[in-house]
Amino acid sequence: MKPADGHAMSELASTYLDALRAAGANLVIAAHVMALYFGIRDPYSLGNLGVAVFFLLSGFLIMQSMLNWLNKPEPRLPGFLADRVARIMTPYLPALILITIFNLTLIHTNHSQGGTNTGVLTFVGNLLMLQDHAAFQGLEFAGIDFPWRIRSYNSAEPFWTVAIEMWIYVSMGLFFFCLLKRERIDRWLGAALAAVAVPVFIWNAAAGGGKSLTLIWLVGAMTGYLFHLWRANGYANIRSVATAVTAFGLVALVGRAGKVGFQPFDLQTAILMAMIMFGLLALLMSVQRAPSLLRGSVKFLASYSYSLYLIHNTVLILVLEHVNFIAQGERTWVSVVIAVVAAHGCAYLLYLAFERHYRIVGRWLRPKFERVLARRASEATVPVAADLVAGSATVASQQER
């Protein structure tokens, strides 16, 4: 059976994707609650699972976005990057400012993983998405210890993944539009973007905090491309194919988890997770309608999930430090409830004030990105992508573990 119109995402499938977004953010909250309030370091890998789900979804959806940009006239890369920057930075910048103020005035504990995690340098580094950059990690691997290594701004622990995702977007945009589609941009700015982004892309394919987050993102992206090809074929045999893929992924994941434990950042595990996640998506695409109450509730929770991801850890720490219910036993759960509700409330306010306006920001940024990235008339006609690849290979070899 095909989806209702043979092509479009069904209402129930769209609700399912929203549910995954909301679940990912709340899994990360659960992991941080256990660590902060109970001293338990995520024995069930809930936080890693949430991050892996985010990266699989991101790859899947951004691949769809890049393919859609091919239907638009050139230049495409500036518009694509403007949209991605707007999506990430619209709530990120105000969240960073708020977190910095809270850490200067109300938070008195240190949540550093080593290196510089407060002060002007850290603020600027986080603003430029340089926290835990591959250059810092490569120097550490080489035995060169710099005390000014930039980390996420103290309580803003989840920010490390946001930087990785941003530079994956830039790397994939350069690859997809400049290398594959031979779109020309300003040579020097393109080289600068590649010099910052590509090392992050390569490093996080084999190392970094998530060990293989780039590869996990690419799994989602390849799945997105397969769905694109499948869509062109009218989603042929969607139920039988989706059932087989989902069942295979589920059985294999149970077996792997039983053998080596459940490790969401493990690439093999992530591939099996993707088979289940997107196999279920394909199954749900054959069901057009979702109950209105379910659709509305899930859409609401998903709407501010990114803001929740950004701000929740700081709110949990604020409640931990300043609410006087902290004690052994039942009263700890009172504090947990207060902290989780406050995190959702603050995140929703951040969404209302900033995140929901990201499309407006994107439209404002597009012409500016087009002017900045436009290839100068004096440049040679050879596409900049060739130079980027050569330069990227040099940078990658220096950063590789």
How large is the C-alpha radius of gyration of the chain?
22
3-class state of residue 389 by DSSP:
helix
pLDDT in tens, 351-367: 999 999 999 999 999 99
Residue 150 bridge partners (DSSP) = 116
Structure tokens that stand for 294 in this block: 């379910």
What is d(CA 6, CA 4) in angstroms, rounded to the nearest whole number?
6
Phi first, then psi: give them for residue 286, nearest 5 degrees.
-85, 0
**Does residue 389 surpass a pLDDT of 80?**
no
Structure tokens that stand for 46 in this block: 């809930």
What is d(CA 198, CA 391) in angstroms, rounded to the nearest whole number?
10
pLDDT in tens, 116-144: 788 999 999 999 999 999 988 888 888 88
Contacts 24+ apart (CB under 8 A), 289-292: 289/10, 289/11, 289/12, 290/11, 290/12, 290/14, 290/15
Q: What pLDDT is stored for residue 325 in this prediction?
A: 60
- DSSP calls for 71-107: TSPSP-HHHHHHHHHHHHHHHHHHHHHHHHHHHHHT-
3-class state of residue 147 by DSSP:
coil
**Does residue 227 surpass a pLDDT of 90?**
yes
Structure tokens that stand for 183 in this block: 């779109």
Structure tokens that stand for 64 in this block: 């769809």
Phi first, then psi: give them for residue 109, nearest 5 degrees.
-100, 155
Q: What pLDDT is stored for residue 397 in this prediction?
A: 39
Structure tokens that stand for 234 in this block: 């009218």
Domain ranges of the chain: 11-110+129-135+154-399
Provide the total of helices (H) and of strands (E) in the chain, helices listed first.
Answer: 15, 0
Instruction: Name the one residue in this structure whose structure tokens are 């638009």.
Output: 72
Residue 79's identity, in one-letter code, is G
Phi first, then psi: give them for residue 150, nearest 5 degrees.
-85, 125
- 102 confidence band (pLDDT: 50, 70, 90): very high
What is d(CA 344, CA 51) in angstroms, rounded to the nearest whole number?
18
Q: What pLDDT is stored for residue 32 in this prediction?
A: 95
Phi first, then psi: give them for residue 65, nearest 5 degrees.
-65, -45
What is d(CA 102, CA 317) in angstroms, rounded to the nearest whole number?
10
Structure tokens that stand for 209 in this block: 């905090």
- 61 confidence band (pLDDT: 50, 70, 90): very high
Predicted structure pTM score: 0.89
Query: Of 251, 246, 256, whose CA–CA distance to 276 is shortest?
Result: 246
What is d(CA 189, CA 368) in angstroms, rounded to the nearest whole number?
14
Q: How far is the first Cα of the chain from the last one, in angstroms, to the nearest whole number?
A: 48
Mean pLDDT across the stretch 230-243? 92
Structure tokens that stand for 29 in this block: 């909250």
What is d(CA 155, CA 103) in angstroms, rounded to the nearest whole number?
7
What is d(CA 379, CA 390) in angstroms, rounded to the nearest whole number?
18
**Does residue 391 surpass a pLDDT of 50?**
no
pLDDT in tens, 255-295: 999 999 999 999 999 999 999 999 999 999 988 788 999 99
